[in-house]
Structure 1
Amino acid sequence: MEKNTGFLLSYIKYGDHDAIINCYTLESGFQSFFMRGVYSVKNKKKAFLSPLNELEITFSTHHGNLPTIKKVELSEKLQDEVNVHQNAVIFFLADFLNQILKNESQQIPLYREIKFFKQKILEKKMHAHYFFLIRMLLFFGISPLISEEKFLNIEKGIFQEEISQKELGEELSSLWKKILDEELNEDFLVEKKYRKPLLDSILQYYKIHFPEFYSPKSLPVILEIFE
């Protein structure tokens, strides 16, 4: 038997009662597991299948097959009174991470970063996800190079003196620079007029610099919540 601790990123029902779950684990990075009987009537573990739940997974491995879960528990008690906005952001981040972490092996700092920002969302720091999405670029070595120039050029991944596209004016470029250069401030907020343009620019950056990236399916929900 082996044991992993990991954040649940996604799951797929398999047959009538089983599931395949995808997690980013502290010990092994991205990992898929076979979870037997989770959809059976008497199984109470279905409640664990919520995005970014941190799970303690005991599993066995057999040559050529997915690791099979023998026991699963929550790593920590579920937060009380998580509202619809918090749930939507957490679902969006899980959707996003499920895509970008599929080829990632163990990175302890990355795991801690996920844990830190999930906690910020649970503490109702509802704009922390902008910070998180941009900070993830640092882990992949594709973040924009900070300089004294004013305007972000998404395609080149640099700041420059001339504006490269009208949507990325000085204010939005300055937001990018602030997030890349500073720690998350407890009072960090994005003005309403910049929320959609900032998120659009972040996703555009990923599409250009991250192979086969596509906008998460949960994007429309996030856009509606922050309008």
Structure 2
Amino acid sequence: MLNKSKVIVLSKLKYRDNDLIVKCFTRHRGVVSYLLRGVLNTKKGSSKAAYYQLLSQLEIEENYRQTQSLQYIKDVRLDYNYTTLHTNLFKGSIVMFLSEVLSSVLREEEENQPLYHYLETTLRWLDTKDEFSNFHLLFLLNLTKHLGFYPDISDTNQRYFNLNNGLFESKKQDVYSISGENLTILKQLLGTNFDALDGIKLSSKQRQSFLAMLLLYFELHLGSFRKPKSLKIFNQIFN
């Protein structure tokens, strides 16, 4: 059955000589993988492969069959045309890093329109902004709302935050209780939105330390999560 759907590209993998397997987060069915036959065959003059850049926002016409693990796309067009996300070196590194994170944490094959809207709007925000050095930190922190382990903000005046249970606490409970600069940054980010991010001034060392803490937070709450392979390159670019 032919359906139209909005999708965001999470990953792509070359299959055989001229095919691609593309994993997407779809607006109406969660994570879906598509087999694109012949899309890399330059002899056919196809330019369709250019559509499937990481985190591209597309509108597709799909031939969806519930019994198949790999679906097929009949037609594709851009739902939103990025102007900087794939051409700016720093934004490109964010795209590579976040797409790897999202590909790891998004697994459900079911509708989640609030999450789709979050990805759609934040990526468009990033595309239009000149100041974005802290974007990935707030993006990942807010992503935990949709994954079910956003920090409990009912008592943020406490001296520690426990990564293991997501609670602010008065005493250091274990090795996962954080304090100091990372705690200060966490409280700042919990109280801000993307448009106010440029008011939070962090050094590259502070960003890397906080990002490492965030990724540990993901590991503790998502058993299958592993640190992205692109993390080292990402930190080098943002050093």
Q: TM-score scaled by structure 2?
A: 0.87
- The answer to whether structure 1 residue 154 and structure 2 residue 163 are counterparts is yes
| DSSP-derived class of the 1:33 partner | strand
Identical columns (%): 27
CA distance in structure 1 between the partners assigned to 2:123 and 2:6 by the alignment: 15
- 5+ residue gaps, structure 2: none
Q: How far is the alpha carbon of 1:8 from its aligned partner?
A: 0.4
Name the structure 2 match of 1:98: 103
Name the structure 2 match of 1:137: 144
Contact 1:152 1:158 in 2 (8 A): yes
Q: How far is the alpha carbon of 1:16 from its aligned partner?
A: 1.4
Name the structure 1 match of 2:227: 215
CA distance in structure 1 between the partners assigned to 2:160 and 2:124 by the alignment: 32
CA distance in structure 1 between the partners assigned to 2:226 and 2:176 by the alignment: 23
Name the structure 2 match of 1:17: 18
Q: How far is the alpha carbon of 1:217 from its aligned partner?
A: 1.3
Q: How far is the alpha carbon of 1:167 from its aligned partner?
A: 9.0
Aligned residues, how many?
227
CA distance in structure 2 between the partners assigned to 1:190 and 1:119 by the alignment: 23
Q: In the TM superposition, what are the counterparts of 1:2-13 in structure 2 within 5 Å?
A: 2-13=3-14
| DSSP-derived class of the 1:102 partner | coil
CA distance in structure 1 between the partners assigned to 2:58 and 2:184 by the alignment: 38
Cα offsets for 1:2-38 (capped at 9, x unmatched)? 1111110001112211111111111211111111211
Of 67, 77, 83, the residue aligned with 1:79 is: 83
Of 70, 74, 84, the residue aligned with 1:70 is: 74
- Greater shift in the superposed pair: 35-44 or 141-150: 141-150
Q: How far is the alpha carbon of 1:63 from its aligned partner?
A: 5.8
Q: How far is the alpha carbon of 1:177 from its aligned partner?
A: 2.2
| DSSP-derived class of the 2:184 partner | helix
- In structure 2, what residue type is equivalent to 1:68? Y
Contact 1:19 1:34 in 2 (8 A): yes
CA distance in structure 2 between the partners assigned to 1:216 and 1:176 by the alignment: 21
| DSSP-derived class of the 1:113 partner | helix
CA distance in structure 1 between the partners assigned to 2:12 and 2:141 by the alignment: 25
Q: In the TM superposition, what are the counterparts of 1:26-65 in structure 2 within 5 Å?
A: 26-41=27-42, 42-62=45-65, 64-65=67-68
- 5+ residue gaps, structure 1: none
Contact 2:163 2:176 in 1 (8 A): no
CA distance in structure 2 between the partners assigned to 1:78 and 1:207 by the alignment: 31
Cα offsets for 1:185-209 (capped at 9, x unmatched)? 1424433331111000000001111
Cα offsets for 1:119-157 (capped at 9, x unmatched)? 232223231110010111111221222212022111232
CA distance in structure 2 between the partners assigned to 1:62 and 1:186 by the alignment: 43
| DSSP-derived class of the 1:75 partner | strand
CA distance in structure 2 between the partners assigned to 1:186 and 1:17 by the alignment: 42
CA distance in structure 2 between the partners assigned to 1:225 and 1:182 by the alignment: 25
CA distance in structure 2 between the partners assigned to 1:190 and 1:87 by the alignment: 21
Q: How far is the alpha carbon of 1:83 from its aligned partner?
A: 1.2
- Structure 1 vs Structure 2 CA RMSD: 2.0
CA distance in structure 2 between the partners assigned to 1:26 and 1:166 by the alignment: 35
Contact 1:144 1:158 in 2 (8 A): yes
